[in-house]
């Protein structure tokens, strides 16, 4: 993960709004041919020729969506870009431009915003996205970041949440639950640190989990992969809230039911072992822990042979008639109704018994 930097403190007022904007955005040179005019005028000018454009926006609020006690600002900047790019990729589109708006209280020196922007800059560079504008203002309490992302796709390539058909296969990328368990580790360490600021935690066994929480990667690779395999998903969504609530979104939007097989859910070994350590059920975590930023999609059964050998893709179930409802088939072959317990409700659940049975 990223290194922390210096302890310098330059007050925001020393630069003023325009000085600050110039300072933060000086490294943002547009690279894409679709960016005609980026930062520096009243609006950016883009040219997508005959492509369809997708637009999405997200607002991140300190204390609600992130906690700076364990979220370094550079990671926050990186993650804020990923959250938005992931929504673009979930349309089977390519992310091209973002605008970044921030509101910061005077608790944040210029150097803190530089850190935030270094994460934004790195993400933009790695994902081939131009930063083409934004807005900068002060806040009376805390930090807010709003990013708007644009992307393009050929008209026939766009995939909605609404196209799944009964018997389509349900497919997920990567593995699930790691970001949520990474957060549990970070919260536990925060409490340990509060009690004893000299404690040196050994976080090595949790590297993958913490990285999935602090530095998630959006699935830029999936749209081109599916194109190469000759597969167009019938519906798609990104996993920001947890598998069960995303399956429910696909089902509701497509007016179908679904059967999800517990034994098929892809889990990293680190998730399994840390769930044992915390005495929580790993299936519950995969179903309800959020922020994995993987993609969930459906394909026609005929396309199964094209995807079956790919290690990035796991078939976890299939769609059904709407009247059959939405179910989890457990390892013990029990059929349980799938319920949406987004990540907001996770806190209460952890305090109670956390077994799904
Ligand atoms: P306006 O008064 O028209 O809102 P601003 O002075 O706020 O213009 O912004 C000047 C330029 O800098 C615009 O191109 C705007 O999009 C860009 N910009 C402002 N704040 C940010 C930011 N936080 N990140 C990136 N670009 C920004
Ligand atoms: Mg402005």
The CATH number covering residue 174 comes to: 3.90.650.10
Where is the domain boundary, 131, 157, 183?
Answer: 157
Is 149 in the same domain as 277? Answer: no
* Whether residues 302 and 182 fall in one domain: yes
Question: The pTM is what?
Answer: 0.91
Question: Residues with Cβ < 8 Å from 181, sequence gap 6 or more?
Answer: 209, 270, 271, 274, 275, 278, 285, 289
What is 319-354 written as a DSSP string?
A: EE-GGG-EEEE-TT--EEE-----GGGHHHHHHS--
Examine the domain organization and report whether 137 and 178 are in the same domain.
no
Same domain, 150 and 107: yes
Domain of residue 136, CATH code: 3.30.1330.10
Which domain range does residue 79 map to?
6-157
Q: For 335, what's the count of Cα atoms within 13 Å in the CB-facing half-sphere? A: 7
DSSP tally for the chain: helices H, then strands E = 11, 13
* Same-domain check for residues 173 and 264: yes
Judge if 67 and 97 occupy the same domain: yes
238: CA distance to ligand 1 center in Å?
29
Residue 234 and residue 304 in contact, taking contact as beta carbons nearer than 8 Å: no
User: Is 59 a member of any domain?
Assistant: yes
Is residue 317 in contact with ligand 1, taking CB distance under 6 Å?
no
Taking CA atoms only, the protein residue closest to ligand 1 atom 1 is: 42
Residue pLDDT, tens place only, 149-166? 999 999 999 999 999 999
In this prediction, residue 3 carries a pLDDT of 60
Q: Are 282 and 267 in contact (CB under 8 A)?
A: yes
Q: What is the per-residue pLDDT across 241-300, written as a single tens digit (0 to 9) for each? A: 999 999 999 999 999 999 999 999 999 999 999 999 999 999 999 999 989 999 999 999
SS3 58: strand
Q: Is residue 132 part of a domain?
A: yes
Whether 105 and 201 share a structural domain: no
- Alpha-carbon distance values, 118 to 11, 50, 98, 115, 146 (Å): 18, 33, 15, 5, 16
Contacts of 230 (CB under 8 A, 6+ apart): 303, 306
Question: Which 8-state DSSP code applies to residue 4?
Answer: P
Domain final residue, candidates 157, 177, 193: 157
In a domain, 164, yes or no: no
Report residue 24 CA to chain centroid gap: 24
- 87 and 183 housed in the same domain: no
Contacts of 340 (CB under 8 A, 6+ apart): 241, 242, 244, 245, 248
In a domain, 356, yes or no: no
Q: Is residue 328 part of a domain?
A: yes
Which residue ranges in the chain fall short of pLDDT 50?
A: 343-357
Tell how far the Cα of 352 is from the centroid of ligand 2, in angstroms.
47
Residue 357 lies in a domain: no
Flag whether 162 is in a domain.
no
Q: Which atom from ligand 1 is nearest to the alpha carbon of 28?
A: 25
Atom of ligand 1 nearest to the CA of 44: 14
Position 200 in a domain: yes
Query: Could you say which of 157, 182, 214 is where a domain stops?
Result: 157
Query: What is the count of structural domains for the chain?
Result: 2
Q: How far is the CA of 102 from the centre of ligand 2 (A)?
A: 10
- State whether 153 and 192 are in the same domain: no
Contact 58, 84 (CB under 8 A): yes
CA of 132 relative to ligand 2 center, distance in Å: 13
- For ligand 1, what atom is nearest to the CA of residue 41? 14
Q: Do 307 and 231 contact (CB within 8 A), yes or no?
A: yes
Sign of CA dihedral 222, 172, 182, 83: positive
Answer yes or no: do 292 and 191 share one domain: yes
Do 204 and 346 fall into the same domain?
yes
Same domain, 189 and 331: yes
Q: In the prediction, which pLDDT does 6 show? A: 55
Per the DSSP assignment, residues forming a β-bridge with 297 are 171, 236
Rounded alpha-carbon distances, angstroms, from residue 290 to 92, 173, 217 = 21, 15, 14
């Amino acid at each position: 993960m990223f290194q922390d930097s210096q302890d310098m403190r330059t007050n925001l007022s020393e630069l003023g709004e325009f000085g600050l904007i110039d300072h933060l955005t000086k490294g943002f040179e547009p690279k894409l041919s679709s960016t005609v005019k980026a930062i520096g005028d009243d609006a950016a000018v883009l040219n997508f020729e005959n492509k369809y454009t997708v637009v999405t926006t997200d607002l991140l609020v300190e204390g609600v969506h992130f906690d700076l006690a364990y979220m370094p600002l550079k990671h926050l900047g990186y993650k804020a870009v990923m959250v938005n790019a992931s929504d673009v990729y979930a349309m089977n589109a390519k992310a091209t431009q973002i605008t970044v708006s921030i509101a910061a209280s005077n608790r944040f020196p210029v150097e803190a915003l530089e850190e935030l922007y270094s994460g934004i800059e790195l993400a933009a560079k790695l994902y081939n996205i131009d930063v083409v504008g934004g807005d900068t203002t002060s806040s009376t309490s805390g930090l807010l970041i709003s990013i708007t992302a644009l992307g393009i796709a050929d008209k026939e390539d766009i995939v909605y949440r609404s196209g799944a058909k009964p018997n389509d296969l349900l497919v997920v990328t990567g593995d699930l639950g790691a970001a949520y368990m990474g957060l549990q580790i970070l919260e536990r360490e925060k409490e340990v640190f509060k009690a004893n600021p000299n404690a040196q935690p050994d976080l090595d066994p949790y590297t993958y989990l913490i990285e999935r929480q602090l530095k998630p990667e959006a699935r830029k690779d999936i749209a081109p992969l599916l194109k190469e395999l000759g597969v167009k998903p019938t519906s798609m969504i990104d996993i920001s809230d947890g598998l069960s609530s995303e399956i429910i979104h696909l089902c509701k939007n497509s007016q179908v039911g679904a059967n999800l097989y517990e034994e098929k859910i892809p889990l990293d070994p680190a998730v399994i072992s840390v769930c044992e350590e915390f005495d929580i059920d790993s299936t519950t975590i995969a179903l309800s822990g959020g922020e994995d930023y993987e993609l969930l999609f459906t394909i026609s059964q005929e396309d199964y042979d094209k995807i079956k050998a790919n290690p990035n893709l796991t078939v976890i179930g299939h769609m059904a008639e709407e009247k059959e409802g939405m179910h989890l088939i457990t390892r013990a072959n029990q059929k349980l109704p799938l319920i949406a317990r987004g990540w907001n409700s996770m806190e209460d659940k952890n305090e109670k018994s956390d077994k799904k049975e």
